[in-house]
A and B are shown apart, each in its own frame.
Chain A
Amino acid sequence: MTDVDDAQLEALVAAAEEGVALDGLIVTDEGGENGEGGEDREDGEDGKDGEDREDGVGDRYTFATGSDTHAGLDEAGLGRVAAQNPWYVSNWYYWEAIERPPAERAFLRWLEDADERDVPDRYEAMAEGRLAASWGQLHVTIRLGEHGHRVYTVRHAEDADREPEALEVHTDPRDAREIATFDDRGRYRPLKTAPTLPTGWAFVDLDGRALAETVGFVYPATVANWYRERRGELDVSHWRETMARQTGIYGVVETWDRGEGHEHVNWVAEACCVDSQCLKRREWAYDEETPLEVDGGDGAFPCREPCSLVVSAARTWTTLEGEEPRTYEFELTPSEKEQLEAIVDAVADGRTDDIREADFSDGANRYRARFLRAKRFDDEGDLCGVATDEWDGAEGADGADGADEADGADG
């Protein structure tokens, strides 16, 4: 490995006065006084350093890494020992001497599992290019740059085995905004944490700041909320308080909570918030005392309140769910009933594009659906000729929402 960098060594010596303790590296400066320094020396295993100390010339430093302790060092001695441990020194420098926002520092350290893996373990892994972590659908690899500075690469997890050179290479974090806007099928992604991040790109040669920015553009505010959660300070806004806060066209959602239980919110969470739909781990519930029965997910970063997409969808459901059920009579074969269920499943699971053209065994196959429509729908589009009557709530709600979007988006 490279020699220890002069600037880093200088910084270490300067910091020793306050005491250095990070990731197994301990450096203390006893100020040339006897006493504690002496005790350290006796604990140490390096007799020569001990002799140095007895010369009484600036023999004030202790440098310890794991089981290896050098006590009674003068400044040159400290430099010599530090130079023999460049990994520990640069690791300390990277984390302590470079100024970073606390959340960013915690995130970058979490990526390399710095609280669990010791310095040699991480440095060997970085040197061999096998230190990696994931954040949502991002695959982050961490390599060793000059003087222990980390060099980050970000790809889609599905591209983890592809060389960055084989992908569309980026170095400006801001490019991530454009990438995160569309999925692999070119559709707009209104929810950044939907598991539909496109593939085929790589951000390379990022420093810690640029990595955090890139992650921030792909998954906005996830690091900030993750950090809050880690510190036990995540401010969760549950369903009821979030809906009660809404005004304007969304004020109506509050009326969906009629004191008749929270099953409707379970349905919302199952529709919108499970891992197959959103990578945030849902931490909000119906209210403080009432958890939902739906799994919140396993994501690394938390969801602290129903998002704007959920609020917007809930507005539509509030209108639709105001309808009373009624009894319709349809005549279907057993297979036709099952086919309708298969079609709902296929749409709900986003599977329609995966159904093969000629797979007639799949009820959601396009030809099968067209056959059913030809057979069972009348000219009005009514199933089995059964009119819906005055119930046309779905169309009304859609129209209203579209108009709202058009207005607002235009400014």
Chain B
Amino acid sequence: MQALVIVAHGSHLNPDASAPTYAHADTVRETGVFDEVATAFWKEEPSFREVLRTLESEEVYVVPLFVSEGYFTEEVIPRELRLEGWDVDAWDSDGTSATQATFAAADVDKTVHYCGPVGTHDAMADVIVRRAESVTGDPEVGPGFGLAVVGHGTERNEHSAKAIEYHADRVRERGRFAEVRALFMDEAPEIDDVTDHFQSDDIVVVPLFVADGYHTQEDIPEDVGLTDDHREGWETPATVDGHRIWYAGAVGTEPLLAEVVLERAADAGAEVGDALEEVRRRTRVAAGEPAPGPAGTGD
């Protein structure tokens, strides 16, 4: 038997923080490729400490729903899962290249495949593009459009900016969007000046965050100038300095992210059959349709 565990931060304060985690877990459940699919949280229940004991499977694939490698993925999660002999070197990562490492857990008789976070997987580039499609309702969006991939910046996590730039580069290389930029909240180039960085009239702004919350629903909309007061919401698109800004909300809420979760598990040796293709197909954006799934864009 094989199990998938999606681990995420969760929140004591925000009831929506766990919603994307549940949604992606359900998408994977419906593919039927895992005998068990569980979720666990730092701030909610079950905790990282107690999730493994709820499972029957001997092989467990743990996929962190985090945007980058750092404190949580390197220290908190392995410690709380009681991965025996964990050392960050086991991932052999340059900060964005972790795939997986295999451990025993101290409190259960299981093999735990501890995967790199979803946020650094190459397939995230597809999710960012899909996010642009879903927020514009245009499966062909790209030509004439600018795309801003937004991250926290270095102040919070040394690897965070690296991951944002990596994905921006990859999307840019595809030549689909007229312009692609990596912008940050804490460092230059800053999201506050988003219109300075684009020639295109239309700019899609995709924040590389797991869940909608304070940053994606309050900070960024106000910083970008979508609204003066986040409580009053904003238009999609909103006009800022003569540009149309299509603000997407957290990329983690995009249904296709479930496919990245599966990719992570598959890279670690999980049997996923044709589930990758199935999830891609089921989460596709049809022309003219509004954004599917749990995407809350605050308007």
Contacts and interface: CB of A to CB of B under 8 A. Distances in A.
A333 interface: no
Contacts of B216: 410
A77 B65 CA distance: 60
Interface size class on chain A is 35 or more
Interface in B65-110: 65-67, 71-72, 75-76, 79, 107
A221 B11 contact: no
Contact of A405 (B11, B46, B209): B11
A406 B76 contact: no
A222 to B, nearest CB: 9
B272 to A, nearest CB: 21
A411 B9 contact: yes
Interface of A: 101, 174, 177, 181-182, 188, 190-193, 216, 220-221, 223-225, 228, 235, 245, 247-248, 304-305, 307-309, 312, 402, 405-411
A411 B65 contact: yes
Contacts of B156: 407
29 contacts: A101-B56, A174-B22, A182-B15, A216-B54, A220-B45, A221-B45, A221-B46, A221-B47, A221-B53, A235-B107, A247-B79, A248-B71, A307-B47, A312-B43, A402-B13, A405-B14, A405-B214, A406-B214, A406-B215, A408-B42, A408-B43, A409-B13, A409-B211, A410-B216, A410-B250, A411-B8, A411-B65, A411-B119, A411-B210
B233 to A, nearest CB: 19
Contacts of B50: 220-221, 224-225, 304
Given A409-B13, A409-B213, A410-B250, 14 more contacts: A101-B56, A188-B13, A220-B50, A245-B79, A308-B44, A312-B43, A406-B214, A407-B214, A409-B17, A409-B43, A410-B212, A410-B213, A410-B215, A411-B8
A188 B11 CA distance: 10
B53 A406 contact: no
A176 B47 CA distance: 18
Chain B interface size band reads 35 or more
A190 B43 contact: yes
A57 to B, nearest CB: 44
Given A221-B46, A228-B53, A248-B71, A411 B66 contact: yes
B146 interface: no
A247 B76 contact: yes
Interface of B: 8-15, 17, 22, 26, 42-47, 49-51, 53-54, 56, 65-67, 71-72, 75-76, 79, 107, 119, 156, 209-216, 250, 252
Nearest to A104: B56
B192 to A, nearest CB: 18
Contacts of A305: 49
